[in-house]
């Protein structure tokens, strides 16, 4: 078994960080086996080096090594790329094609960005890991393959599993051994060493003198939080090597190549996707409904006071305290409205709850005032109907008419959505 230093030299890995050495050591130890390996770490830390080490030191080193970027292949074609397809399996399939798992039989496949795999493909991959079988797209005949899988991801797998974006059983199959590469900001002593190596490489490549950093520039280099890790460091070294005439780099010169250098915070990888515009519109609609209910209650109470014949000026002066009393009396109605919002579509509360509130109020006032309040209610309900219809249309368009996905986005059951579609003749 080769020692860690020899392996790092062989594969061009620079640095003496303990976390880096441990990752290389684990790769060397696991290489002679056929155990599946999951390499984790932030983008730009050099995860692609680990599967190369594993393949080169394994008994499969004379077999094929294929690296696949799962995030770069469209969802509609990834099954065909990985497992192949039969002639006529889909439009454009004019001939039978062998996938990577068939071509790499006896070798190693590196699945980079495995966290981006769509769920149907994850099921197929799980079958390969369990018994070495796969099906070509459009075929019913199972084929066997003997492939060693090494995967890599910069995704937080625990969060992806919790959100239902990655299968838990597949995760445990892939991560029999997990190798984590540390981010560059935690390899403090390696930063300047790497920069000098890159500067030397670019000096040879572009046939120019090697750049050198002043002491203040070195301190800046070490203090910076390198959100893009080694990839960003290499990019900065290349820019400075090519663009600067003076080969001695000062603090100010280096600072001009580092974005947000004033911030001393670690880089944050945002794994949360922003909420869709549709979700924001739904929240706004809920708020409008609550505000509308309060307005109707206020109008009801004020109308009752005026009908009793009391001094209108006094009623206006007491308006603020009256609204507070109304709020305390109608808390139960708001709680009922909130529960209906969670369980059903806006249609169920804009007619039933608001209408019930209005009916309780108008029972105590004159008939002509009742009709006036009813007209206000009908006008508000009409706008809510239009809003609901607009939201349903947007959701169906967003998911190309798929009711299951649209219902999930709306927060209602598929049966309720089907009823609404019939109601509005969509």
251's CB contacts (< 8 A; 6+ apart) are: 214, 216, 217, 219, 220
What number is the average pLDDT over the span 397-401? 81
Averaged pLDDT for residues 42-54: 96
Round to whole Å and give the CA distance between 234 and 246: 19
Q: pLDDT per residue over 238-293, tens digit each? A: 999 999 999 999 999 999 999 875 554 444 444 444 444 455 566 677 667 767 77
Does 370 or 421 have the greater pLDDT score? 421
Q: Are 135 and 124 in contact (CB under 8 A)?
A: yes
Measured distance CA(226)–CA(186) in Å, rounded? 10
- The continuous run of DSSP H or E covering 84 comes out as strand 84-85
H and E: helices and strands count for the chain: 20, 11
Q: Residue with structure tokens 């007491």?
A: 318
CA geometry: angle 211, 213, 215, nearest 5 deg: 165
Cα distances (angstroms) measured from residue 267 to each of 113, 148, 228: 20, 34, 8
The answer to whether residues 143 and 124 touch, using CB atoms and an 8 Å cutoff, is no
Q: pLDDT for 316-325, tens place per residue? A: 555 555 545 4
With a CB cutoff of 8 Å and minimum separation 6, the contacts of 330 are: 293, 294, 297, 357
| Residue showing tokens 């061009």 | 12
Instruction: Read off the pTM.
Output: 0.61
Query: Taking the CB of residue 188, how many other CB atoms lie within 10 A of it?
Result: 11
Q: SS3 of 97, please? A: strand
Which structure tokens are listed for 160? 């992806």
Higher per-residue confidence, 222 vs 360? 222
Residue 30's nearest CA partner among 101, 102, 108 is 108
Domains for the chain: give ranges and CATH numbers. 4-182 (3.40.50.300), 185-255 (1.10.8.60), 277-423 (no CATH)
pLDDT of residue 354: 42
Comparison of pLDDT for 323 and 59, the residue scoring more: 59
Q: Does the pLDDT of residue 224 top 80, yes or no?
A: yes
CB atoms within 10 A of CB 368: 7
Q: Return the higher-pLDDT residue of 303 and 373.
A: 303
Question: What is the tens place of the pLDDT at every residue in 131-188?
Answer: 999 999 999 999 999 999 999 999 999 999 999 999 999 999 999 999 999 999 999 9
What value does the mean pLDDT take over residues 353-363? Answer: 45
- Measured CA to CA, the distance from residue 258 to residue 227 in angstroms comes to 11
The sign of the torsion formed by the CA atoms of 114, 116, 122, 124 equals negative
Q: Put residue 153 in one of left, alpha, beta given phi > 0 → left and psi -120 to 50 → alpha.
A: beta
Between CA 87 and CA 331 the distance in angstroms is 66
Helix axes 277-307, 319-329, angle to 10 degrees: 120
Tokens of 16: 């003496």
- CB neighbours of residue 381 within 10 Å: 16
Confidence category of residue 311, pLDDT binned at 50, 70, 90: low
Contacts of 156 (CB under 8 A, 6+ apart): 271
Q: 118 and 81 in contact (C-beta within 8 Å)? A: no
Which pLDDT band holds residue 69 (cuts at 50, 70, 90)?
very high
194 membership: H or E segment, kind and range: helix 191-206
Can you read off the two tokens belonging to residue 382?
């009409």
Give the residue-averaged pLDDT of 17-30: 96
| Cα–Cα dist 106/343, whole Å | 54
Which are the contacts of 75, defined by CB distance < 8 A and separation ≥ 6?
Answer: 118
pLDDT > 70? residue 123: yes
Angle at 23 between CA 172 and CA 219, to 5 degrees: 130
SS3 353: helix
pLDDT above 70 for 101: yes
SS3 assignment, position 294: helix
Token pair of 401, please? 């008419």
Separation between Cα atoms, residue 414 and residue 169, nearest integer Å: 28
């Amino acid at each position: 078994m080769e020692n860690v230093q020899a392996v790092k030299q062989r594969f061009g890995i620079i640095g003496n960080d303990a976390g880096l050495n441990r990752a290389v050591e684990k790769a060397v130890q696991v290489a002679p086996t056929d155990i599946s390996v999951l390499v984790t770490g932030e983008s730009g830390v050099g995860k692609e080096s680990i599967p190369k080490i594993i393949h080169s030191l394994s008994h499969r080193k004379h077999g094929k090594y294929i690296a696949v970027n799962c995030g770069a292949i469209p969802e509609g074609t990834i099954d065909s790329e990985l497992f192949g397809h039969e002639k006529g399996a889909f439009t454009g399939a004019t001939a039978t094609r062998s996938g990577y798992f068939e071509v790499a039989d006896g070798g190693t496949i590196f699945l980079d960005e495995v966290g981006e795999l769509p769920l149907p493909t994850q099921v197929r991959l799980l079958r390969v890991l369990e018994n070495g079988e796969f099906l070509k797209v459009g075929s019913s005949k199972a084929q066997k393959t003997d492939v060693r899988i090494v995967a890599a991801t910069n995704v937080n797998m625990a969060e992806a599993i919790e959100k239902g974006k990655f299968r838990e059983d597949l995760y445990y199959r892939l991560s029999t051994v997990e190798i984590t590469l540390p981010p560059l900001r935690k390899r403090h002593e390696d930063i300047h060493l790497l920069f000098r190596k890159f500067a030397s490489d670019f000096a040879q490549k572009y046939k120019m003198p090697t750049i050198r950093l002043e002491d203040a520039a070195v301190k800046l280099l070490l203090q910076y939080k390198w959100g893009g890790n080694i990839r960003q460091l290499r990019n900065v070294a290349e820019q400075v090597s090519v663009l600067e005439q003076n080969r001695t780099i000062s603090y100010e010169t280096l600072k001009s190549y580092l974005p947000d250098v004033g911030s001393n915070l670690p880089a944050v990888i945002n794994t949360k996707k922003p909420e869709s515009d549709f979700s924001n519109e739904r929240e706004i609609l809920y708020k409008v409904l609550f505000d509308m209910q309060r307005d109707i209650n206020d109008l009801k109470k004020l109308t009752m006071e005026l009908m009793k014949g009391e001094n209108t000026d006094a009623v206006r002066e007491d308006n603020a305290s009256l609204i507070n009393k109304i709020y305390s009396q109608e808390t139960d109605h708001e709680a009922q409205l909130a529960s209906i919002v969670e369980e059903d579509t806006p249609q169920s509360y804009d007619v039933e709850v608001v209408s019930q509130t209005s009916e309780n109020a108008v029972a105590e006032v004159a008939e002509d005032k009742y009709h006036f309040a009813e007209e206000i209610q009908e006008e508000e309900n009409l706008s809510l109907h239009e809003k609901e219809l607009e939201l349903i249309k947007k959701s169906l368009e967003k998911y190309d008419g798929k009711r299951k996905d649209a219902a999930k986005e709306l927060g209602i059951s598929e049966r309720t959505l089907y009823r609404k579609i019939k109601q509005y003749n969509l």
